[in-house]
Amino acid sequence: MIHTPDEPAISDFTLTQLFDLAGEHDRRGLRRELIIADSPSDLRLFRFPCRIEAVCIGVGVGGEATVRLNHREYRLRRDTLFWFGPQSIVQAGTDAQFRAHHIIVSTQLLQRSIDLEAKKMLPLFLQFGAHPVLDITPGESASLRDFLRLIEQESREPAGRFTDELIGRLISALVCKTGNLLDRYLALHEERSHRSDRAEEYFQRFIRLLGEHFRRERSVGFYARELCITPKYLTTLIRRVSGKSVSEWIDIYVVLEAKALLRFSNRSVQEVAYALNFPNQSFFGSYFKRITGMSPSEFRAQKG
């Protein structure tokens, strides 16, 4: 990619690298995987365009700021909910007066925390990708800040036997809370939610079909037939809207479901393979390792 002199290069960061940039080298354990604060300072870390392997969820509490997300400009102010997903290109303005109560969570911690089916979680993330900044009511804003305040309080307490599980459940509850706020926002702005071009309409239809059939169907041809278009055209449309291919989206759904079954159920690896319509455990193991870099048994044995 060639960058012009007035277009800064886009940097990629992990949350650990972000802590190092902020001079916070002494974080340990779970505190290496999240930032939570009621402060204007942390958003200044995004003053240059960058991608970060994390999710940022927050609500404005005072002042205003401009933020560019995936090259689109948004205005943050009091009582705006904002959600920046992983791999989003973020650049925050230098407005010194803006304050927000927010949390930045590593993708790994988020995956461990959210005990939701893939068919519920991924559409939620996609909807927030289309509506990353929402105007919410003062009451909704106060309720959201209560969730953030509780996570912040628990993260600052001395670590106990159940600290990781407690914070994980609170993060999961926060995601569900923001999902409810998004649903209410879309219900009040229904006409805006339906404004999409043909590619986006196909993408939404594809995602709905994928949520219904991913456990049984993993071929591009199946989804193309259901949508009455050719596999090549479907792949072109989906990549144009999302930056990912149809096969990549199928893999995302299948692997997330496999991880949930491996971690949160007592099913054997063979039973998980059959539940996801793999012909045998060996085929499933090869598929899982190709995408995740580890076998199903190795993933199940991981702590946390």
* Each residue's pLDDT tens digit, 249-271: 899 889 888 887 887 788 999 99
Which structural domains are found in the chain, ordered by start?
Answer: 11-191 (2.60.120.280), 198-301 (1.10.10.60)
Contacts of range 126-129, beta carbons closer than 8 Å, 24 or more positions apart: 126/207, 126/242, 127/182, 127/186, 128/83, 128/85, 128/178, 128/182, 129/85, 129/88
Query: Mean pLDDT score of the chain, rounded to an integer?
Result: 80
Mean pLDDT of 184-211: 72
Closest C-alpha among 88, 89, 107 to residue 16? 107
Q: Are 139 and 9 in contact (CB under 8 A)?
A: no
Average the pLDDT over each of 32-36, 132-136, 168-172, 217-221 and give the range with the smallest value: 32-36
Mean pLDDT of 53-76: 84
Q: Are 66 and 95 in contact (CB under 8 A)?
A: yes
Percent of the chain scoring above 70 in pLDDT: 77
Question: Residue 7: pLDDT above 50?
Answer: no
pLDDT-derived band at 218 (thresholds 50, 70, 90) equals: very high
Segments in the chain forming alpha helices (H): 15-21, 107-113, 118-130, 138-156, 163-188, 190-193, 198-213, 220-226, 231-242, 246-264, 269-275, 281-292, 296-301
Mean pLDDT of 55-78: 85
Question: Residue 32: pLDDT above 50?
Answer: yes
Q: Three-state DSSP class for 281?
A: helix
- Of 220 and 164, which is predicted with more confidence? 220
Question: Residue 20: pLDDT above 60?
Answer: yes
* Each residue's pLDDT tens digit, 289-300: 999 899 999 988
Mean pLDDT of 172-200: 76
Question: Residue 22: pLDDT above 60?
Answer: no
Mean pLDDT of 181-199: 69
Q: Are 90 and 69 in contact (CB under 8 A)?
A: yes
Sole residue written with tokens 């205005």: 75
What pairs with residue 35 in β-bridges?
104
Residue 293 has phi, psi (to 5 degrees) of: 85, 5
Question: Residue 242: pLDDT above 60?
Answer: yes
Bridge-based pairing state of the strands 64-69 and 72-77? antiparallel
pLDDT-derived band at 8 (thresholds 50, 70, 90) equals: very low
Question: Residue 286: pLDDT above 70?
Answer: yes
- Of 272 and 35, which is predicted with more confidence? 272
pLDDT-derived band at 195 (thresholds 50, 70, 90) equals: very low
Question: Residue 52: pLDDT above 70?
Answer: yes
Mean pLDDT of 195-216: 79
What pairs with residue 104 in β-bridges?
35, 56
Percent of the chain scoring above 90 in pLDDT: 31
Mean pLDDT of 151-161: 87
* Each residue's pLDDT tens digit, 114-154: 765 666 677 777 778 778 899 999 999 999 999 999 998 98
